[in-house]
Chain A
Amino acid sequence: MTLYGYRVPMMASLLVWCVIWELVGQSGLMFLVPPLSAVLVAGYSMVQTSTWQAAAMITLHSFAIGMGLAIVVGVSLGVLMGRFKAVDELFSIWVNIFVSAPLSALVPVLMILFGMGETTVIVTVFLFAVWIIVLDTRAGIQHVPKSLIEMGRSYGASTFALYGKIVLLAALPEILAGIRLGLVRGVKGVVIGQLLVAIIGYGELFELYSRSFDMENFWALTIILFAAAMLMSAAIEHIEKKVDYYAGVR
Chain B
Amino acid sequence: MTLSTASIHALPHAESAAVEVRGISKNYKEVEALRSIDLDFPRGKLTTLLGPSGCGKTTLLKIIAGLIEPTSGEVRVNGKTVTGPGPERAFVFQDFALMPWATVMRNVAFGLELKGMGKAERQSIARHYIAEVGLTGFEDKYPHELSGGMRQRVGLARAFAVNAEVLLLDEPFSAVDEQNRRKFQEDLLRLVEKERKTFIFVTHSIEEAVYVSDRIVLLSRRPSRVSQIIEPKVDRTASPDAIRRDQGYLDTVEEIWQGLKHYVD
Contact = CB atoms under 8 A, between A and B. Distances in A.
Interface string A132-174: 0000000000000101101111111110010001100110100
B91 A249 contact: no
A154 B99 contact: no
B100 A147 contact: no
B114 A247 contact: no
A246 interface: yes
A59 B14 CA distance: 73
A5 interface: no
Given A145-B97, A248-B100, A154 B144 contact: no
A154 B101 contact: no
Contact of B101 (A147, A151, A156, A246): A246
A196 interface: no
A243 interface: yes
A120 to B, nearest CB: 40
A250 interface: yes
Interface residues on B, range: 20 to 34
Contact of A155 (B94, B98, B144, B162): B162
A156 to B, nearest CB: 5
Contacts of B91: 150-151, 154-155
A167 B110 CA distance: 14
Interface string B93-117: 1111111110000000011011100
A151 B100 contact: no
Interface in B95-150: 95-101, 110-111, 113-115, 142-144
A156 B85 CA distance: 7
Contacts of B94: 147
Nearest to A152: B114
Most chain B beta-carbon neighbours within 10 Å: one of A147, A151, A243: A151
Given A156-B87, A166-B99, A248-B144, A150 B111 contact: no
Nearest to A156: B114
Interface in B150-180: 158, 162
A161 B114 contact: yes
A245 B145 CA distance: 11
B100 A246 contact: yes
Contact of A151 (B62, B97, B115): B97
B182 to A, nearest CB: 24
Given A151-B93, A249-B144, A156 B99 contact: no
Nearest to B145: A249
A169 B101 contact: yes
Interface in A17-52: none
A245 to B, nearest CB: 8
Given A151-B93, A155-B114, A249 B87 contact: no
A150 B67 contact: yes
Contacts of B142: 246, 249
B95 A147 contact: yes
B15 to A, nearest CB: 28
A45 to B, nearest CB: 47
B93 A147 contact: yes
B65 interface: yes
B66 interface: yes
A145 B144 contact: no
20 contacts: A145-B95, A148-B97, A148-B99, A151-B91, A153-B67, A153-B84, A154-B67, A154-B90, A154-B91, A155-B85, A155-B90, A155-B158, A156-B111, A165-B114, A169-B99, A170-B99, A170-B100, A246-B101, A248-B100, A248-B144
Which 8 A-B residue pairings sit nearest by Cβ, starting from the closest? A249-B144, A151-B97, A147-B97, A246-B101, A155-B111, A154-B91, A154-B85, A249-B100
Interface of B: 62, 65-67, 84-87, 89-91, 93-101, 110-111, 113-115, 142-144, 158, 162
